[in-house]
């Protein structure tokens, strides 16, 4: 199971030393984790993800070029046409489309995105587009109708390990390829708790998650 650490801002080089598979940088100005500084030099093995909320195509393309993003994560109301346009402009950049879940989810929505996205990400529906710190009911993913790989996000912390182990034994997890963490591993928004992240990654490895 791969690991993504999102909401990077104040100590990305320390996080990079832990060798997560993905690091997410938020380019949505209202976010307390908004990234507007110089991008540090990261190991090539770490994929840089740019997180956007209802940005224009031009804004996304500008950040992709400026920061060398290899993945674009769309966390707003972006439709399939928007994703298609992005794909046409940056075919070498993968696209993650985020869907927020509270008590239920209509998976038929995914059908329109099948051909224009590379991954889905399922997060908890809250006041903010992300980083709300709450876990949704993962059993909803028993109804996942696609074979497209997805990221699992939403309030995942060290205390989630037993639930993760149980979830990953279920058919619902078959296409879950990445665990996405953020607010549960912070001492302040955008400042990651390195010791807790190290422990979480160790547990993922030891439990072969």
Q: Are 118 and 97 in contact (CB under 8 A)?
A: no
Q: Along the 209 residues of the chain, how does pLDDT read in single tens digits?
A: 999 999 999 999 999 999 999 999 999 999 999 999 999 999 999 999 999 999 999 999 999 999 999 999 999 999 999 999 999 999 899 999 999 998 899 999 999 999 999 999 999 976 555 455 579 999 999 999 999 999 999 999 999 999 999 998 888 899 999 999 999 999 999 999 999 999 999 999 887 77
pLDDT of residue 208: 75
- pLDDT per position as a tens digit, 58-94: 999 999 999 999 999 999 999 999 999 999 999 899 9
Rg (CA), the chain: 16
pTM: 0.94
Q: Are 200 and 181 in contact (CB under 8 A)?
A: yes
Q: Which CATH number fits domain 2-206: 3.40.50.1110, 3.20.20.70, 1.20.1530.20, 3.40.50.1100?
A: 3.20.20.70
Distance CA 28, CA 128 (A): 11
């Amino acid at each position: 199971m791969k690991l993504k650490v999102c909401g990077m801002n104040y100590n990305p080089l320390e996080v990079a030393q832990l060798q997560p598979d993905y690091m997410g940088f938020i380019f949505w100005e209202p976010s307390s984790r908004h990234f507007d500084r110089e991008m540090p030099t990261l190991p090539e093995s770490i994929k840089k993800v740019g997180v956007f909320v209802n940005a224009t195509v031009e804004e996304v393309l500008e950040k992709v070029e400026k920061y060398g993003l290899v993945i674009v994560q769309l966390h707003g109301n972006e439709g399939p046409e928007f994703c298609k346009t992005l794909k046409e402009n940056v075919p070498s950049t993968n696209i993650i489309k985020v869907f927020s879940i509270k008590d239920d989810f209509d998976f038929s929505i995914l059908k329109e995105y099948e051909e224009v996205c590379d991954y889905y990400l399922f997060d908890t529906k809250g006041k903010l587009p992300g980083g709300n710190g709450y876990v949704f009911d993962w059993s909803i993913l028993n109804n996942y109708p696609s074979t497209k790989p997805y990221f699992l996000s939403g309030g995942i912390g060290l205390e989630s390990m037993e639930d993760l182990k149980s979830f990953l034994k279920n058919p619902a997890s078959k296409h879950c390829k990445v665990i996405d963490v953020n607010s549960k591993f912070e001492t302040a928004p955008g400042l990651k708790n390195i010791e807790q992240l190290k422990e979480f990654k160790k547990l993922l490895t030891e439990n072969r998650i």
